[in-house]
Amino acid sequence: MEIFALIALFGVVWWIASQIGHKTPPTHPTARQQQSTPLRQVRSAPKTTAPIATASRTPLKPPTHKVGEKLEGPAYIIDGDSLRIQKTEIRLFGVDAPEINHPYGQKAKWKLLELCKGQRITAEITAIDHCGRAVAKCYLPDRTDVSAEMVRQGHAIDWPRHSGGVYTHLESPGVRKRLWLANARQNGQMFLWQRYEERKVAAKQKREH
């Protein structure tokens, strides 16, 4: 009887031990378990060592001067309606001259240079444009209005939207036809600029071949 009791007791102990071992998860996963682990669990987020650079528009230049402020000094000429005084870029008030790479653009620049060369220019700031540039009425020492003189000599046209039309009466006959790209800008016809650039490119390619 004692033998049978011992056998029964051993069987009970063995059964309990096997149940406990079955319910306890293995400490280390098997190779099969490792292969079946979802990818999202084994991938870790990449370490970020520096912020990722993203393309963005160039920020507008913050204005450094205020409306009503005056600047005086020699002028460095940029183009037919832009100059620089004391390292400040200034747009001539109320007029529009052709771009440097447009017809008569170089002539407009040289005329403005001729007017301002050796002179001490006074710029009275009237506005700050969307690019952060100062818009100013510029005067020669004898108080000649530089904008008016550029229009009078046919190297710029009045821009009524910004001037209120104060220089329109100074425009020479046919000047808007001659400075047609500047006139197109005022009329919102920028597609004419695109056509002009396309013709320039086509002409250049033709010459090269």
**Residue range 125-155, pLDDT digits in tens:** 999 988 888 999 999 999 999 999 999 999 9
**According to the model, what pLDDT value does residue 130 have?**
84
Work out how many domains the chain is built from and give that number: 1
Considering the domain boundaries, does residue 133 fall inside one?
yes
Nearest to 121 by CA among 147, 160, 153: 147
Average pLDDT value for residue range 16-35: 49
Considering the domain boundaries, does residue 118 fall inside one?
yes
Average pLDDT value for residue range 154-173: 97
**According to the model, what pLDDT value does residue 38 have?**
43
For residue 139, the enclosing domain spans 70-191
| Token output for 40 | 């999202």
Q: What percent of the chain has pLDDT over 70?
A: 70
Q: What is the pLDDT of residues 81-134, one digit of tens each?
A: 999 999 999 999 999 999 999 999 999 999 999 999 999 999 999 999 888 889
pLDDT higher than threshold 80 for residue 22: no
Considering the domain boundaries, does residue 76 fall inside one?
yes
Considering the domain boundaries, does residue 13 fall inside one?
no
Considering the domain boundaries, does residue 175 fall inside one?
yes
Considering the domain boundaries, does residue 115 fall inside one?
yes
Considering the domain boundaries, does residue 164 fall inside one?
yes
Considering the domain boundaries, does residue 50 fall inside one?
no
**According to the model, what pLDDT value does residue 16 have?**
61
pLDDT higher than threshold 90 for residue 164: yes
User: pLDDT band at residue 204, thresholds of 50, 70 and 90?
Assistant: confident
Q: What is this structure's pTM?
A: 0.68
The CATH number for 93's domain is 2.40.50.90
